[in-house]
Amino acid sequence: MKSPRVPVRVFAAGALVGVVCGGAGLSSSASAEEEPVSSHRSTQVVERSEAGGTMSAATARAVDRAVRSQATRRQAQYAPGSIVIGVRAHIIEGTHRGERHATLAGVRRQIAVLNQAYAGQEALGRTPDVNSTTTADTSFRFALRGVTKTRNEAWYHVSAPGATANRMKRTLHQGHAYTLNIYFVQPSRSSGLLGYATFPYQYAAHPRLDGLIVNDQSLPGGNLTHFNLGNTAVHEIGHWLGLRHVFNDQAVGSTEAPDPVDDCVDNDGLADTPVQAYPTSGDPVGKDTCVQDADHPQWVGDDAIHNFMDYSWDEAMYQFTPDQSSYMDLSWAHYRAPHRAS
């Protein structure tokens, strides 16, 4: 069966030069918004690491109070697969030969990976992490609603939040709080960037900066060994839907010697993800940064190395937990649903 026709618009240096097939027009509005604090992950090919701002503890507490309100809980009663998120994919190309990696076929493969991951299908035949007896079939599925192609050297090499990323997003962003905009770029090699995302609570102040920036070599079949199965986008969408990392964000990038007692913080506030001090590199066996003992009986289980919200290799990631699924529902209902509870 043929895939449905997807609107594709072609740009050069930010200016419309041709329409491949029909689709919704771009909004022409642009404001002097500042780049919001975002979840930001990078890799030096061999590992994932934090390379930017994270949600502060105070902000996390405020967001948790908001999404767990009685009104939001009443609205967030979604069945598995009942929310289909429209995706607007923005393929950014460079102006030099060899700077055109992302393709429509690659984007379609990425959408298929998203649907497998959020349906819990990547976990079939695998063992869930110790604190979660089941892998969630979440409420979310994804449908490609349109693709833009833009040739712009500066945008192609966006490596961090800032003025260049702002201009790109404000020019290309489409839709509303419930529309997922993904920008596929090729960050500078020295940055090692895999991607970063905005959180739902940031949309109200910065609507045109909402979305994901993703390394185009992390698409399924890309050339980033261990990071080319499409799970970077899965992880970043988790943030876009409100999830935090399963490890302690504040311990990432610290120059101090690791201290499991100080660093064992329940970062995501969810009962079925183990307390975890540090992000995972690779696909280790039996990693446990917060070992249960008499003084810390709550530190149950090995680290959640198979969870999409860790930093493991793509082949090691295959699970969202039921509590993560419920939290995404709450976040959607409060911040992104067409008829929000907030």
Q: Each residue of 203-251: pLDDT tens digit?
A: 999 999 999 999 999 999 999 999 999 999 999 999 999 999 999 887 6
Distance CA 36, CA 23 (A): 29
List the catalytic residues.
236
Q: What mean pLDDT is predicted for residues 102-124?
A: 93
Long-range CB contacts for residues 106-109, cutoff 8 Å, separation at least 24: 106/216, 106/219, 106/220, 106/221, 106/222, 107/144, 107/147, 107/184, 107/219, 108/3, 108/144, 109/219, 109/220, 109/221, 109/230
d(CA 342, CA 340): 5
Q: State the pTM of this model.
A: 0.85
Percent helix, strand and coil across the chain, each to the nearest 5: 25, 20, 55
Over residues 123-141, the pLDDT tens digits come to 676 666 655 557 899 999 9
* Distance (Å, whole) CA 55 – CA 77: 26
pLDDT at 1 over 70: no
State yes or no: pLDDT of 8 exceeds 90.
no
| Cβ neighbours for 15, distance < 8 A, ≥ 6 positions apart | none
Q: Yes or no: say if 20 and 10 are a contact pair by the CB < 8 Å rule.
A: yes
pLDDT over 70 at 84, yes or no: yes
- Among 13-22, 94-103, 136-145, 253-262, where is mean pLDDT lowest? 13-22
The pLDDT of residue 260 is 66
Q: Which pairing describes strands 83-93 and 140-151: parallel, antiparallel, or unpaired?
A: parallel
Residue 29's pLDDT is: 30
Given pLDDT bands bounded at 50, 70 and 90, which one contains residue 278?
confident
How far is the C-alpha of 319 from the C-alpha of 246, rounded, in Å? 12
Residues written for the chain: 342
- At 147-195, the pLDDT tens digits run 999 999 999 999 888 999 999 999 999 999 999 999 999 987 777 789 9
How high is the mean pLDDT of the chain?
Answer: 82
Q: In angstroms, rounded to a whole number, what is the distance separating the alpha carbons of residues 2 and 326?
A: 34
pLDDT on residue 55:
80
- Average of per-residue pLDDT across 278-292: 88
